[in-house]
Amino acid sequence: MAGNYDPSFAKEVFDNVDSGEEIKMCMQCGICAGSCPLRHEMDYPPRQIFTLIRAGRRDEVMNSKAIKLCTSCYRCKVRCPRGIPVIDVMHGLAHYGIKKGIIPRKGTAAFGGEFWKMIYNIGRIDEKTLPLKYNLLEGLVPGIKSTIEMAPMGIQMFLHHRMKLLPERKIKGIKELRKMLDKAKEMGKGGAN
């Protein structure tokens, strides 16, 4: 860790990353990290990414799995007590990484696309089928393999009633939601698709 401290990194993020400057408002409460459904997969959940940015840890941030994994579920942004668009910053960092050639395109878009489809189909996020679909997108064999690797988490979530065995049902008003989503897509803001 020592040695790769870059004092200009925070400013670089504030100036170049979408919503990057909003990080200044962060009070380090941790609810974004605690709410993130992928917190156990991420090397640095959102709050820690922000600390690392402030600490000038360019390599850890730009090479982090976290900014690639973010699935646009919006939990962090909805809950942030400082109104920081956490997800926009996470995406901003990923885009910035892609632009700078640090991150290859693949991973993020696939997971984001699955999220979009799920919201569109049932109106909510099903934490069980999502990782499955995501892993299958990697290709059938490695997909099944990584799904099995994640199984302990799934079983634990199930045991704690965090995840239902049957796929989540559609929410009420799914038609209205779809209309909104279609409209949003039309307006060019259609998530990762």
Partner 1 sequence: MADVQTTNQSILVVGGGISGITTALEAAEAGYDVVLLEKNPYLGGRVTQLHQYFPKLCPPSCGLEINFKRLKANPRIRFFTMAEVAGISGKEGDYDVKVKISPRYVNEKCTGCGKCAEACTAEVDNPFNYGMDKIKAAYLPHGFAFPMRYVLDPSIVGTDDGKKCKDACQYDAIDLDMKETSFDLKAGAIVWATGWNPYDAAKVEYYGFGENKNVITNVMMERMASMNGPTGGKIVRPSDGKEIKNIAFIQCAGSRDENHLAYCSGICCVASLKQTRYIREQYPDCEVTVFFIDIRALDRLEDFYTMVKEDQKVKFIKSKIATITEDGATGNLVLEGENTNTGEQIKATFDMVVLATGMAPNSIKSVCSADVSCDEYGFIANDPAKAGIYGAGCARRPTDVASSVQDATSSALRAIQSIARR
User: Where do contacts with ligand SF4 occur on this chain (CB under 6 A)?
Assistant: 26-32, 35-36, 38, 46-47, 50, 70-76, 80-82, 84, 86-87, 90
Query: Among residue numbers 85 through 144, which ones bind partner 1 (CB under 8 A)?
Result: none
Per CB under 8 A, the list member of 10, 13, 33, 70 interacting with partner 1 is 33
Q: Which CB, 72 or 135, lies closer to ligand SF4?
A: 72
Per CB under 8 A, the list member of 4, 5, 8, 27 interacting with partner 1 is 27
Contacts 24+ apart (CB under 8 A), 52-55: 53/9, 53/10, 53/13, 53/23, 54/10, 54/23, 55/5
Look up residue 24 and give its DSSP letter: G
Per CB under 8 A, the list member of 12, 16, 18, 31 interacting with partner 1 is 31
Look up residue 25 and give its DSSP letter: G
**Contact flag: residue 65 with partner 1 (CB under 8 A):** no
Q: Which does 72 bind (CB under 5 to 8 A by kind): ligand SF4, partner 1, none?
A: ligand SF4
- Cα–Cα distance, 2 to 95 (Å, whole number): 26
Neighbours of 76 (CB within 10 A): 25
CB of 95 to partner 1, least distance (A): 25
Per CB under 8 A, the list member of 19, 48, 64, 135 interacting with partner 1 is 48
Question: By CB under 8 A, how many residues form the interface with partner 1?
Answer: 22
Q: Which does 90 bind (CB under 5 to 8 A by kind): partner 1, ligand SF4, none?
A: ligand SF4
- Nearest partner of 123 among 77, 87, 162, 172, judged by Cα: 172
Q: Which does 57 bind (CB under 5 to 8 A by kind): ligand SF4, partner 1, none?
A: none
Question: What are the DSSP calls for 46-92, one per residue?
Answer: HHHHHHHHHTT-HHHHHT-SHHHH-----HHHHH-TT---HHHHHHH
Those residues with Cβ within 8 angstroms of residue 31's Cβ, 6 or more apart along the chain or in another chain = 76, 79, 80, 81
Report yes or no: 89 and 17 within 8 Å, Cβ to Cβ.
yes
Kindly list the residues in this chain that would bind partner 1 in the complex (CB under 8 A): 27-31, 33-35, 39-40, 45, 47-48, 78-83, 160-162
